[in-house]
Structure 1
Amino acid sequence: MIVIAPTLISGQGRTPDGKPDLQGVWQVLNTAAWDIQDHSARPGVPAGQGVVDGNEIPYQPWAAAKQKENFEKRLTEDPVTKCYLPGVPRITYMPHPFQIFQTPGTTVIVYEYDHAVRTIYTDRPQLSGHIDFWLGISRGRWEGETLVVDAIDFNDKTWFDAAGNFHSDALHVVERYTRTDPDHIAYQATIEDAKVFTRPWTMTMTLYRRQENNIQLLDYECNALAEEAAGRLK
């Protein structure tokens, strides 16, 4: 696993309880929502560089075959096309902004996409047992300047992107948010799933602060299978 060592800027803002201030409206500037690996342009998808460290997803043989099958059926089988929640970490790199709020013991992330909300407690342990959730159950802790989020209890119905990369209900995601200057957050998500992958692997990207005056999240209304319908009209 590659660990980011971002350069920290002195004098960064702090919350009243002394934690790094991550609050604001943020968004990625990449094409990971379509494909987390290097990819050429295809209809409806811009070319892009991957966010997977080493550009390799360590699938088990059966899972690699399943991913190819998913790719061929992506216009109808991607859960996002049916207006289901994208899951974690995909919701972070959907092409929509999200807003972070912080209070002592809690970080809340509100996403423009599908009006989704994640509440990340930093003052209580994970729940016992397994309960299936679209966005899992998240607990956080601070490691120096980095918010580390441990997310478990996912269902097996979400994909990592629109290229069919997938996981099982054994998914375990560890996210790291490190503010490197007032307008950038270094974001890293480490993926573990012993049912699907041969080893843990990591995605790395930058979150950018939205700079517009009076920036706010807007209403988002999903239309199921809109991409498939658009394809039929070509």
Structure 2
Amino acid sequence: MSSGFKLSRGKLGRVVLGALLSLALVSGTGCAQRTDGAQRTDIPRTASGRPDMNGIWQALGNAHWDLEPHLARPALAMQPGPVVSVPAEEVLAFGAVGAVPSGQGVVVGGLIPYLPGALAKRQENKENWLNSDPEIKCYLPGVPRATYMQFPFQVFQSESKFFIAYEYAGAYRDIYLEDPGPPQVDSWMGQSFGRWEGDTFVVEVTGFNDQTWFDRAGNHHSAALKVTERYSMTSPDHLMYEATIEDPETFSRPWVIQMSLYRNIDLDARLGQFKCVEFVEELIYGHLRKYPIRK
């Protein structure tokens, strides 16, 4: 029985090794096909053969806290303590709920290439986060920030339209599929012009104002910002999102963020309503009351 067991185990080992080699060959072939530009056959497609990105998507991770790699810390707003910094009085009551989770970062290469003056501005933003972050007052998030906030968004795609609705603040983007020319006005969400490059949907976004941030860490830009987004389906339920950031007034060179987006596959999946303007009325206009609540 002992020799029989050894023989069976040897056969099993050869079978497993053969299976692993076969999988490696198949995987290598698949990678080669994708590298050579062959169409994926495992993703949903429209009648015209384009990847069908219709659905509700959401980013995971902590990019909305800080695009760069960062450690966990007690709060975004801090003040000097007797030994180390401690949460500022305004956020102290939040305790662990207001703490910042760690993140590996989504910036290709790790750090954002700020010009010296812009780097100093980011530090100023960090120190005044509570009064300066546009998210706190429910301003529109801008691009790419809208993509990786802790709220989902929905893609509505047809042969002639590509529309993105965001749960946060009721924001949306109606993406032009024909070149509309230069933006006529600057805006929070910019002007989006999309085109297909093979199976990748590429969106150029321009015409921004200088009021939005990239995250809660004070990362910022000027009105010269240009964002080039790339949406690529890597499976039926996953998108690879890439955004190239260009702003010669703020950064020394273009830089890129990358992350995965995940489809909500719940049978009753839908966007909720988070029209937060009414949630911040007291914060913004409360001082106009005859008898203000806040002292």
Under a length normalisation based on structure 2, what TM-score does the superposition of the two structures give? 0.72
- Please show how residues 82-121 of structure 1 align to structure 2 within 5 Å: 82-121=137-176
Match of 2:197 in 1: 143
Match of 1:58 in 2: 113
On the 8 A contact 1:154/1:169 being kept in 2, the answer is yes
CA separation of 1:8 and 1:96: change in aligned 2, threshold 3 A: farther
Listed one character per residue, the Cα deviations across residues 28-59 of structure 1 (whole Å, up to 9, x for unaligned) are: 01111111011111222211110001111111
CA separation of 1:28 and 1:166: change in aligned 2, threshold 3 A: same
3-state SS in 2 of match to 1:219: coil
Query: What's the offset of the Cα at 1:226?
Result: 9.6
3-state SS in 2 of match to 1:68: helix
CA distance in 1 between counterparts of 2:282 and 2:126 reads 17
Task: Please state which structure has a larger fraction of its residues in helix.
Answer: 2
Query: What's the offset of the Cα at 1:8?
Result: 6.8
Find the structure with the greater CA-based Rg: 2
Query: What's the offset of the Cα at 1:9?
Result: 3.9
CA distance in 1 between counterparts of 2:145 and 2:257 reads 11
Larger RCO: 1 or 2 (CA < 8 Å, sep 6+): 1
3-state SS in 1 of match to 2:117: helix
2:236 matched to 1:182? Answer: yes
3-state SS in 2 of match to 1:104: coil
Query: What's the offset of the Cα at 1:101?
Result: 0.8
Equivalenced residues, count: 222
On the 8 A contact 1:81/1:225 being kept in 2, the answer is no
* Match among 28, 40, 45 for residue 59 of structure 2: 28
3-state SS in 2 of match to 1:54: coil
5+ residue gaps in structure 1?
228-234
* Match among 211, 233, 238 for residue 157 of structure 1: 211
Moved more, 136-145 or 112-121: 112-121
2:264 matched to 1:217? Answer: no
Match of 1:232 in 2: none
- Percent sequence identity is 50
CA distance in 2 between counterparts of 1:60 and 1:103 reads 41
CA distance in 1 between counterparts of 2:215 and 2:116 reads 20
Task: Please state which structure has a larger fraction of its residues in strand.
Answer: 1
CA separation of 1:187 and 1:129: change in aligned 2, threshold 3 A: closer
Letter of the structure 2 residue corresponding to residue 37 of structure 1: E
RMSD across aligned C-alpha pairs, in angstroms? 2.0
Listed one character per residue, the Cα deviations across residues 148-171 of structure 1 (whole Å, up to 9, x for unaligned) are: 000000000000000000000000
CA separation of 1:62 and 1:225: change in aligned 2, threshold 3 A: farther
CA separation of 1:72 and 1:149: change in aligned 2, threshold 3 A: same
5+ residue gaps in structure 2?
1-34, 76-97, 284-295
Under a length normalisation based on structure 1, what TM-score does the superposition of the two structures give? 0.90
Letter of the structure 1 residue corresponding to residue 43 of structure 2: Q
Moved more, 101-110 or 20-29: 101-110
Query: What's the offset of the Cα at 1:100?
Result: 0.4
Query: What's the offset of the Cα at 1:7?
Result: 10
Query: What's the offset of the Cα at 1:127?
Result: 2.3
* Match among 235, 251, 255 for residue 201 of structure 1: 255
Match of 2:125 in 1: 70
On the 8 A contact 2:183/2:206 being kept in 1, the answer is no
CA distance in 2 between counterparts of 1:110 and 1:148 reads 17
